[in-house]
Amino acid sequence: MRRRTFAAGAVAGPLAAATPAHADAGGGPQVTFRRLPDLPPNPTAWNDAIPVRTPYWRQLGLAGLLVGSHGPYLIAAGGANFPEPALTATRPNHLGKVYWSDAFVMGPDRTWLDVRLTLPDSLAYSACVDAPSGVLVLGGEGFRGGPGGTALAPAEKFPDAFRLRYDPAARRLIREDLPALPRPMSYAVAALIGTALYVAEGADFHSLDLAHPAPGWQTLPPCPGPARTVAVGAALGGRFLLLSGRSSTPDGAWTFHRDAHSYNPRTSTWTRLPDLPWCVTAGQAWPLNDRYLLVAGGDKDLARWNLVQQQTAAAHPDTVTWLYDHHTGFNRELLLYDTLHSRWHVVADFPGPSQVTTPAARLGDDLVLVSGEVRPGIRTPAVWAIRTG
């Protein structure tokens, strides 16, 4: 298995420029992959433009799924895609980006249950956290009351926070509301440390004590790095880690970040960690134990992203469509952060196209990655179990 290690040089301050990475010998746990059954097709026929339940209807995959585990069950719900036949994100369509409310549950035998489930709203791009009491879901965007498309009406950002669990006896999902977020947000990242739930998005950083939720969300010192969205976050060793992400300037230019930061709840302070070797925006981060953090996803071809933004601003849709159609996919290399040696390792290559804009959940001994985006506007129904040891 190919391994490369990246050790950052000295960082002069909390906003110091990224240091170029260099390679040396790596180490850490082995990573293996197993393909699980694909995500089932969406069953809700809500618009004539979508051929739901026809013989050729298939699951195209969903980005921004609500994903988490509750006991031996994996919940995957909501999400967004472009489901009209032969139409994509950059080709004229009737519905635009479609946000779904269908929900699916994988059972202990790692197959999808034959049970019809829905959320009260269509929902995508929430921050999701596994907890013993159920999946914690924060924010997101979509449409109240059921599925909808952005060509029919603009999607709405939600301040909702709730716990979602599966009741196998009643064969239904149970939603329990938590105090609403201080503002609507999507593409946030969250993590649980003890009974404290943390969420970060943009320049904002908040916490909620699940043992005493009545006071609501508390505002915490913001990350000292640039305000960002579509970042990656996780809890590791009793600290909240905020990695990568992207930000835009008023003139529409984008900056992709490789910096990494750690928040210590005991001192309410942030510490700069070694920079990532590349941007992992829209990827995933999983703590393996108190020492290791596994990180996947991101896009190394930032020149293509900037070119797409320039051509979009110049109103050249044919060029944008060509660039999307010829996109080679997102970064397939998995990184491991070793807290003992403060360095990043490349430990494995994802076995298929890298799946971004989707969270992952721990299910038993596995990390499970469900569906997601493999190229701009293009999804996959693939589900993978990732095991380390």
Overall average pLDDT of the 285-314 stretch: 81
Residue in 256, 222, 220 with CA at minimum distance from that of residue 242: 222
Run of H or E including 33: strand 31-36
CA pair distance 374, 358, nearest whole angstrom: 10
Higher pLDDT, 359 or 10: 359
* Fold of domain 4-388: Neuraminidase (2.120.10)
Residue 1 is predicted with a pLDDT of: 44
Residue 195 is predicted with a pLDDT of: 97
> Distance between alpha carbon 382 and the CA centroid of its chain, in Å?
15
SS3 295: strand
- Angle at 55 (CA atoms; ends 53, 60), nearest 5 degrees: 70
CA pair distance 89, 104, nearest whole angstrom: 25
Q: Give the relative orientation of helices 302-313 and 317-325 as an angle to the nearest 10 degrees.
A: 160
The pLDDT tens digits for 87-141 are: 888 888 999 999 999 999 999 999 999 999 999 999 999 999 999 999 999 999 9
Per-residue DSSP letters for 348-385?
Answer: EE-SSS--BS--EEEETTEEEEE--EEETTEE---EEE
Confidence of residue 305 (pLDDT cuts 50, 70, 90): low
What is the residue-averaged pLDDT of the chain?
90
Domain locations in the chain as residue ranges: 4-388
Task: Output the pTM of the full model.
Answer: 0.90
CA pair distance 136, 318, nearest whole angstrom: 41
Residues ≥6 apart with Cβ < 8 Å to 322: none
Least confident of 38-47, 164-173, 303-312, 333-342: 303-312
The pLDDT tens digits for 154-213 are: 999 999 999 999 999 999 999 999 999 999 999 999 999 999 999 999 999 999 999 999
327 pLDDT above the threshold of 80 = no
Residue 189 class from Cβ within 10 Å (0-12 exposed, 13-18 middle, 19+ buried)?
Answer: buried
- Angle at 368 (CA atoms; ends 366, 369), nearest 5 degrees: 150
CB-CB contact of 367 with 294 (8 Å)? yes
Residue in 195, 164, 384, 199 with CA at minimum distance from that of residue 294: 384
CA pair distance 349, 353, nearest whole angstrom: 10
CA pair distance 343, 340, nearest whole angstrom: 8
CA pair distance 364, 346, nearest whole angstrom: 24
* Parallel/antiparallel/unpaired status of strands 161-167 and 135-138: antiparallel
CA pair distance 298, 258, nearest whole angstrom: 10
Residue with tokens 């420029």: 17
DSSP state of 112: B
Confidence of residue 59 (pLDDT cuts 50, 70, 90): very high
Long-range pairs for 250-259 at CB < 8 Å and ≥24 separation? 252/309, 252/313, 253/309, 254/305, 254/306, 254/309, 255/226, 256/281, 256/299, 256/302, 256/305, 257/225, 257/226, 257/228, 257/231, 257/281, 258/18, 259/18, 259/225
Give whole-number Cα distances, 19 to 4, 279, 297, in Å: 16, 13, 21
CA pair distance 199, 302, nearest whole angstrom: 27
Structure tokens, 68: 């988490």
CA pair distance 277, 5, nearest whole angstrom: 9
Give whole-number Cα distances, 252 to 42, 201, 210, 323, in Å: 35, 19, 38, 19
* Parallel/antiparallel/unpaired status of strands 135-138 and 148-149: unpaired
Q: Where are the alpha helices (DSSP H) in the chain?
A: 302-313, 317-325
